[in-house]
Amino acid sequence: MKNEAVKIIKAKKKFILEQWFQNQVENDGLREDLITNEDQRIQSEELLNSFAASLSESNFDNAQSRDFEKVEEILSGIAIARARRGFSPRETGAYVFSLKSAILKTLSEEISDAKVLYTESMRINSLLDNFSIVTFETFIKGREDVILRQTDEITEISTPVIKVWDGILALPIIGTLDSSRTQIVMENLLQEIVETGSSIAILDISGVPAIDTLVAQHLIKTVSATRLMGAECIISGIRPEIAQTVVHLGIDLSEIITKASLASALKTAFGMLELEVRKKAVPKTI
């Protein structure tokens, strides 16, 4: 009777699948806003078929068996897909646990000997708990990948280099500057200087909430890198509170052109390029 559970799982796959799907309905595990019921059923059937095909008496007590590599591959794919689609950890965990409930219910209906039922139930518990760990680990990795990708995208969006005039670039900085973001700012700015042949770059820090010694050092590094490329740099958006902080911290920005607003910085840039912007006279109508 030791291999009773293996025989039942292989013979009762269809019943287990229906019970599993019912468990998902009762646990609000079916999220049609994230995946269709039909796709989830196909996904569940593929996992159950692979599990039943891999299962044998020799590996029933060994979740690390190479026989289960296909099962873990499918579970990992499901976990990563759910992390990307926006499923919660609870919903992802409930998906696997509901399979365990379906199998245990099937065993309880098929095995009449209480001692055998207890033994087989403990074995299936141990096996599927190990698969749950694999699922959670992969889900966390998938969620971390999503967060890193979104962080990179937000960083790219928040550091655009804009050509405001021939020979003049502007880079509005929003949020706090740290070492990694400064690197991205410098790379984007220097690349744009090379591609456009611009000689003036305006760093607008109106969107930077606060200036400290570290942020000032990052700004100075950016200015130095810009000058090495043969371009002059102007820092705009110096608010009164930022000016006071810079003085209080003893930060030396004396060798850098600073302006209170982007408009003032642009006017200075025009002067450096010997450009003049005049308001066009509107002819009077009779």
Q: Mind listing the pLDDT tens digit for each residue in 114-128?
A: 999 999 999 899 999
Query: Given a cut of 80, is residue 245 above it in pLDDT?
Result: yes
Amino acid of residue 139: F
CATH tag for 4-151 (out of 1.10.490.70, 3.50.50.60, 3.40.50.720, 3.40.640.10): 1.10.490.70
The answer to whether residues 135 and 78 touch, using CB atoms and an 8 Å cutoff, is yes
Give mean pLDDT, residues 257-271: 92
Closest CA to 75 of 95, 91, 59, 90: 95
pLDDT of residue 15: 92
Domain ranges of the chain: 4-151, 162-272
CA 40 to each of CA 9, 35, 79: distance values in angstroms, whole numbers, following the listed order:
20, 7, 13
Question: How buried is residue 42: exposed, middle or buried, by Cβ count under 10 Å (0-12/13-18/19+)?
Answer: exposed
Q: Do domains 4-151 and 162-272 have the same CATH topology?
A: no
Please give the CATH number for the structural domain made up of 162-272.
3.30.750.24
Calpha distance 108→239 (Å, rounded) = 72
What residues does 162 pair with on adjacent strands? 170
Calpha distance 251→212 (Å, rounded) = 9
Task: Give the predicted TM-score (pTM) of the model.
Answer: 0.58
pLDDT of residue 1: 47
Lowest mean pLDDT among 25-34, 235-244, 245-254: 25-34
Calpha distance 21→91 (Å, rounded) = 14
